[in-house]
A and B are shown apart, each in its own frame.
Chain A
Amino acid sequence: MERVKPPRSAFVNFPLGRQCGKPNDPELQKSILKDALDLLTTATRPGEIRHLPFEWGAPFDWKNFMQDLAKMLEEEGTEMQEWKPKD
């Protein structure tokens, strides 16, 4: 977001795939949306990235991201596409 600089943006530090909230937690999801939409009337400078105060509640990192992806692909019986650079 820092590179792209949308006029107004909100950042939620949740894992990818859950950035609008935890599943089946409508109150959390609505709070996230309200805080994000609030930027429309309260942001004052272009390119602001507002960090919203929501906490996922457990640490996660790039390794977790790759592990979760692998688990998901295994559960669903699909494979990660093997991209090969063109020779």
Chain B
Amino acid sequence: MKPIEYVTSLDEWYQSQGFPPYRWSQFDSSPWTPFDKPLGEARIALVDSAGIFRDDQEPFDPWAVNDLSFRRIPVDTPRERLKLHHNYFDHRDALKDINCIYPVDRLRELAEEGTIGALVPEAITLGMGRLYKRTALQQETVPKIVEILKEQGTDAALLVPA
């Protein structure tokens, strides 16, 4: 089955309402760092853009524009303390099982089974959409996240878009 062309469909939908075209990020090349560890020894970090936060943290606002903030969520946070504020995809399945978009329990199991070396103690969530300040995201927000991941001995980050 052909994947949905989200970018084209979103462009059509918003432009039909009178918005100027969104300048989607486009890069000419892809960065590369060789990965030399066996997966079973790798410390993996979860970075997720699903608008998830813990009940004692500042909520994500689904109507925000240019929200460059991120949350650090301990991966052993009980499910009932996790909140999801995102109204731009059908999140009903995610409310039944958060792992549909935030696979924290499965990653913990993979670590217990030895498939991965470890799941890094904090997951990072960010990215509520309608982000126009791409330069700030790349030059200010991301280096902070990278520092946090490095402090926790991350070998590789798994980015889950939502």
- Within the complex, the shortest CB–CB distance from B27 to chain A, in Å, comes to 5
- What band does the interface of chain A fall in when counting residues whose beta carbon is under 8 Å from B? 35 or more
The answer to whether B1 touches A13 (Cβ under 8 A) is: yes
* A55 CA / B2 CA spacing, docked (Å): 11
- Within the complex, the shortest CB–CB distance from A9 to chain B, in Å, comes to 8
- State which of A4, A13, A22, A30 has its C-beta within 8 Å of the C-beta of B100: A22
* A84 CA / B38 CA spacing, docked (Å): 50
The answer to whether B99 touches A19 (Cβ under 8 A) is: no
The answer to whether A40 touches B42 (Cβ under 8 A) is: yes
The answer to whether A23 touches B19 (Cβ under 8 A) is: no
* Known A-B contacts A22-B93, A23-B96, A69-B89; A46 and B110 likewise in contact (beta carbons under 8 Å): no
The answer to whether B3 touches A13 (Cβ under 8 A) is: yes
* A86 CA / B19 CA spacing, docked (Å): 8
- Within the complex, the shortest CB–CB distance from A39 to chain B, in Å, comes to 9
Q: Report B-chain residues with C-beta under 8 Å of the C-beta of A72.
A: 87, 90-92
- State which of A6, A7, A33 has its C-beta within 8 Å of the C-beta of B110: A33
